[in-house]
Chain A
Amino acid sequence: MSTITNPVSASPTAETTSERTGAQTVWETLVRLGVDVVFGYPGGAIMPTHDAMVQYPVRHIRVRHEQGAAHMADGYARASGKVGVAMATSGPGATNLVTGIANAMLDSIPIVCITGQVASPLVGSDAFQEVDITGVTLPITKHNFLVRRVEDIMPTLCKAFYIAGSGRPGPVVVDITKDAQFAKAPFQWSDSPVKLPGYRPEHRPQSPDFARAVKLIEEAERPIIFCGHGIIRANASRQLSEFVEKTDAPVASTLLGLGGFPASHPRALGMMGMHGESWVNSAIQQADLIVALGMRFDDRVTGNLATYARGAKKIHVELDPAEINKNVKVDLPIIGNVRDILEALTPQLEKRVRKAWNASIDAMRSEASAHDIIQLPDAGKLHPAHVIHDLWQLTKGQALVVSDVGQHQMWEAQYYKHEYPKKLLTSGGLGTMGFGLPAALGAKVACPDDEVWVIVGDGGIQMTQAELQTARQENLKVNVAIINNGFLGMVRQWQEFFFDRRYVATPISSPDYVKIAEAHGLHGQRVTRREEIAPAVARAREAPCTAVIEFCVEGEDSVYPMVPAGANLEEMIRRPPTGGQSQS
């Protein structure tokens, strides 16, 4: 094996034109595309590629289930802004990726999933471990490819990375037959731009649009700005802050937009929508202008479309033309990169001060805050909202938090105040339980110096807890806060509100999480009272390995306020006056 060379140090001369197998070509290409970590799981049809990997400077994180690989690539991409890579074999390996691919699609996350496929003469014959994964993933990928020839591997991977990361990002699947991985061909790296005649990811906004936007903003008395995920993906936080300084308009965030605008800013309102605070949704309903930046008016944001923000003109700044007028009819769409658009728009605006409008929102806010559970004593009980609030204080709001899906996700969004972009990773569009732990491991790989916390329910952790052993084997230190209320809490809450408290299939038992952690060779603790939170968090942070804390919280706390699905935004279910617990 004396012929092994480091392709990074190899100059693109003689070395790069010599013959390579398809498997080597995969790595030659990935390394040149800047990939240094892959989340994967081996198997028959991808074996040649895994076999060739040892020759290349790429870290392979071997997961416990391919869903974990897709979520890790997703968490890596969200935290780093780069393209994440997952790798799996054909058939069940590929289908196990599917949930993670759909998750990345719904949240516009750039990942490339490389799957092995049975040898091309066998394709279509129902061969062992054969699944038509390009067919299966067609509606949940931005694009996908089946590669049958070694010569096509390099150009296809280049296209896949370009498509995944440009425009509105998304997942791309590259399915490579086993014979193409074995076959040899001359390898010649090409720096020339990717040729995709039908792909136009960028749009240039028209200058008349800016003039109309300036007019709408200057005529507005009660404008409100929406900070969506697009602000974070486009690295437009600074441009948003400058826009807010000029317009003096308050900023409401979508779930995925949290962190795009600093929570401590006086104009930051917090999250909008189904579990948005009352003053946020009220401000939206009272506004006379919405400036929506990089968001898509999801049904969790709008509630009943017929009564949504009826008094407001709407400017929609969005990268994807297919989102315009999809859910909410807007007055002025501006298609393009939100950062470029804000940079062009802000200098054209007069500086304004909107005392009355902001004062009226602040009044609503201080009134509502007085009834907030954070203001209530714990009375010997452990409330999940208190756990999140204390965790925010103990970590000084600086942690990179990855939440799973359910009640704890909403409490995190309400009580962990994020100051910076890319410090809250959560599954928004698909709402994928089990996302939290693997996504956090991917984020830790991307940001090894960050303090990473997983906030997860007792349901979600039981879906993907096998990845605790991945954390152990790969020496990845994250802290896992399990909010254990003995229920699939969000569904239980809906049963309480809308199904006459019939708690069907929602009570869920848990293993002993301290023992689970210890069995994985990790640090485990249990917290049952509020005063135990701080010392437990301190011990978890000091532990050299991944640390698990089980928080045994009140069983039937609900997330307030709540706008029932499809209801008018002002029709919120508020916290009962008795305090934290609803009457049961």
Chain B
Amino acid sequence: METKRRTFVVYVEDRPGVLNRVASLFRRRGYNIISLNVGRTHEVGVSRLTMVVEADDDTARIMEANLYKLVNVLSVEDITGTPAITIDLALIKARVTPQQRADAIDLAERFRARVTDVSAETMMFEITGTQEKIMEFAGELKPYQVVEMVQTGTVSMTRGGEGYASEVARNHKPNATAA
């Protein structure tokens, strides 16, 4: 069956070891993680993962079912195909001489990147957007020699409607078990 890139949004209890459980599940079952981003939400005790994986339809359903089997996982949503804002954040440091700065700033503006640090020999850029846009920007910086690059991993949020985290948090109340 045809594999494709999929995005899961996973809400988990914010407690030690939970990320390890998710990562261990994917390692054990041989699922490949392309990108994984974890962070807290506005609800106390709830963290949110954005996972990008490569899988066919059946494997994706089994991944989802296996994620649900983790006791600390509150909800799993496959948002592949749902209209969503999906972005990465990258910091890129390149060797830019004072003479080259004006050109580099022009380049950054074309990609809506921000200059976040300048030294005698380098400039640091902050860029958000799709993987494709970020990699294209990094490519354009190559003539300047990229010194260092870091990415956060993909974060995704579906467009419109109510916040999913609020719904999860509503269920995250005493006696909401075993339903």
Whether chains A and B associate is yes
Binding site for B on A (CB under 8 A): 134-135, 138-139, 142-143, 163, 166, 192-202, 320-322, 324-326, 329
Instruction: Knowing A322-B62, A322-B65, say if A195 contacts B174 (CB, 8 Å).
Output: yes
Binding site for A on B (CB under 8 A): 12-13, 17, 20-21, 24-25, 28, 58, 61-62, 65-66, 68-75, 171-179
Please measure, in the bound complex, the distance between the C-alpha atom of A166 and the C-alpha atom of B179, giving whole angstroms: 12
Q: By the criterion CB–CB under 8 Å, are A195 and B177 in contact?
A: yes
List the count of A-B residue pairs having beta carbons below 8 Å apart.
Answer: 66
Instruction: Knowing A163-B71, A193-B175, A193-B178, say if A329 contacts B65 (CB, 8 Å).
Output: no
Please measure, in the bound complex, the distance between the C-alpha atom of A324 and the C-alpha atom of B171, giving whole angstroms: 26
Report B-chain residues with C-beta under 8 Å of the C-beta of A324: 61-62, 65
Cβ 8 A contact of B72, one of A195, A198, A325? A198
Q: By the criterion CB–CB under 8 Å, are A198 and B73 in contact?
A: yes
Report B-chain residues with C-beta under 8 Å of the C-beta of A197: 13, 74, 171-173, 176-177
The interface centre, meaning the residue of A134, A196, A199, A329 with most chain B CB atoms within 10 A of its CB, is A199
Smallest distance from the beta carbon of B31 to chain A beta carbons, Å? 12
Report A-chain residues with C-beta under 8 Å of the C-beta of B176: 195, 197
Q: By the criterion CB–CB under 8 Å, are B66 and A322 in contact?
A: yes
Please measure, in the bound complex, the distance between the C-alpha atom of A188 and the C-alpha atom of B13, giving whole angstroms: 26
Q: By the criterion CB–CB under 8 Å, are B21 and A138 in contact?
A: yes
Please measure, in the bound complex, the distance between the C-alpha atom of A201 and the C-alpha atom of B69, giving whole angstroms: 8
Report A-chain residues with C-beta under 8 Å of the C-beta of B65: 320-322, 324
Instruction: Knowing A193-B177, A194-B177, A197-B171, say if A138 contacts B20 (CB, 8 Å).
Output: yes
Q: By the criterion CB–CB under 8 Å, are A166 and B20 in contact?
A: no
Please measure, in the bound complex, the distance between the C-alpha atom of A138 and the C-alpha atom of B177, giving whole angstroms: 22
Report B-chain residues with C-beta under 8 Å of the C-beta of A192: 175
Name the residue on B nearest A196 (C-beta): B177
A-B CB proximity, top 10 nearest: A322-B65, A321-B65, A143-B71, A197-B172, A198-B74, A322-B66, A325-B58, A199-B71, A196-B177, A139-B28
Q: By the criterion CB–CB under 8 Å, are A320 and B24 in contact?
A: no
Would you list 19 pairs from A and B whose C-beta atoms are within 8 A, ordered by A residue? A134-B17, A138-B21, A139-B28, A166-B178, A193-B178, A195-B176, A195-B177, A197-B13, A197-B172, A197-B177, A198-B73, A199-B71, A200-B177, A200-B178, A201-B178, A202-B178, A320-B65, A322-B62, A325-B61
Smallest distance from the beta carbon of A429 to chain B beta carbons, Å? 15
Name the residue on B nearest A163 (C-beta): B71
Report B-chain residues with C-beta under 8 Å of the C-beta of A201: 178
Report B-chain residues with C-beta under 8 Å of the C-beta of A135: 20
Report A-chain residues with C-beta under 8 Å of the C-beta of B58: 325, 329
Please measure, in the bound complex, the distance between the C-alpha atom of A143 and the C-alpha atom of B61, giving whole angstroms: 21
Q: A195-B174, A324-B65, A329-B58 are in contact. List 19 more A-B contacts (CB 8 A).
A: A138-B21, A138-B24, A139-B25, A143-B71, A163-B71, A195-B175, A197-B171, A197-B172, A198-B70, A198-B73, A198-B74, A198-B75, A199-B177, A200-B177, A200-B178, A201-B178, A322-B62, A322-B66, A325-B61
Report A-chain residues with C-beta under 8 Å of the C-beta of B24: 138-139
Report B-chain residues with C-beta under 8 Å of the C-beta of A142: 71
Instruction: Knowing A197-B172, A199-B71, A320-B69, say if A325 contacts B62 (CB, 8 Å).
Output: yes
Report A-chain residues with C-beta under 8 Å of the C-beta of B74: 197-198
The interface centre, meaning the residue of B12, B62, B71, B176 with most chain A CB atoms within 10 A of its CB, is B71
Name the residue on A nearest B171 (C-beta): A197
Smallest distance from the beta carbon of B26 to chain A beta carbons, Å? 11
The interface centre, meaning the residue of A197, A201, A202, A321 with most chain B CB atoms within 10 A of its CB, is A197
Smallest distance from the beta carbon of A325 to chain B beta carbons, Å? 5
Smallest distance from the beta carbon of A133 to chain B beta carbons, Å? 13
Report A-chain residues with C-beta under 8 Å of the C-beta of B73: 198
Smallest distance from the beta carbon of B71 to chain A beta carbons, Å? 4
Smallest distance from the beta carbon of B76 to chain A beta carbons, Å? 10
Instruction: Knowing A138-B24, A321-B68, A322-B69, say if A199 contacts B17 (CB, 8 Å).
Output: no
Name the residue on B nearest A197 (C-beta): B172
Cβ 8 A contact of A200, one of B21, B68, B72, B175? B68
Report A-chain residues with C-beta under 8 Å of the C-beta of B21: 138
Report A-chain residues with C-beta under 8 Å of the C-beta of B62: 322, 324-326
Cβ 8 A contact of B71, one of A196, A321, A329? A196
Please measure, in the bound complex, the distance between the C-alpha atom of A142 and the C-alpha atom of B25, giving whole angstroms: 12
Name the residue on B nearest A204 (C-beta): B179
Report B-chain residues with C-beta under 8 Å of the C-beta of A200: 68, 177-179
Please measure, in the bound complex, the distance between the C-alpha atom of A321 and the C-alpha atom of B61, giving whole angstroms: 9
Please measure, in the bound complex, the distance between the C-alpha atom of A296 and the C-alpha atom of B164, giving whole angstroms: 33
Report A-chain residues with C-beta under 8 Å of the C-beta of B177: 193-197, 199-200
Smallest distance from the beta carbon of A565 to chain B beta carbons, Å? 20
Report B-chain residues with C-beta under 8 Å of the C-beta of A321: 65, 68
Please measure, in the bound complex, the distance between the C-alpha atom of A194 and the C-alpha atom of B171, giving whole angstroms: 15
Report B-chain residues with C-beta under 8 Å of the C-beta of A195: 174-177
Report A-chain residues with C-beta under 8 Å of the C-beta of B20: 135, 138
Smallest distance from the beta carbon of A458 to chain B beta carbons, Å? 34
The interface centre, meaning the residue of A193, A198, A324 with most chain B CB atoms within 10 A of its CB, is A198
Please measure, in the bound complex, the distance between the C-alpha atom of A326 and the C-alpha atom of B69, giving whole angstroms: 15
Smallest distance from the beta carbon of A155 to chain B beta carbons, Å? 12
Please measure, in the bound complex, the distance between the C-alpha atom of A143 and the C-alpha atom of B73, giving whole angstroms: 12
Smallest distance from the beta carbon of B15 to chain A beta carbons, Å? 11
Q: By the criterion CB–CB under 8 Å, are A199 and B13 in contact?
A: no
Report A-chain residues with C-beta under 8 Å of the C-beta of B175: 192-193, 195
Please measure, in the bound complex, the distance between the C-alpha atom of A199 and the C-alpha atom of B179, giving whole angstroms: 9
Smallest distance from the beta carbon of B134 to chain A beta carbons, Å? 33
Smallest distance from the beta carbon of A303 to chain B beta carbons, Å? 20
Please measure, in the bound complex, the distance between the C-alpha atom of A321 and the C-alpha atom of B21, giving whole angstroms: 19
Name the residue on A nearest B168 (C-beta): A197
Please measure, in the bound complex, the distance between the C-alpha atom of A134 and the C-alpha atom of B18, giving whole angstroms: 12
Cβ 8 A contact of A198, one of B12, B17, B174? B12
Name the residue on A nearest B73 (C-beta): A198
Report B-chain residues with C-beta under 8 Å of the C-beta of A196: 71, 177-178
Smallest distance from the beta carbon of B34 to chain A beta carbons, Å? 21
Name the residue on B nearest A199 (C-beta): B71
Please measure, in the bound complex, the distance between the C-alpha atom of A78 and the C-alpha atom of B173, giving whole angstroms: 34
Smallest distance from the beta carbon of B57 to chain A beta carbons, Å? 9
Name the residue on B nearest A326 (C-beta): B62
Report A-chain residues with C-beta under 8 Å of the C-beta of B72: 198
Smallest distance from the beta carbon of A260 to chain B beta carbons, Å? 24
Report B-chain residues with C-beta under 8 Å of the C-beta of A143: 71
Name the residue on A nearest B21 (C-beta): A138
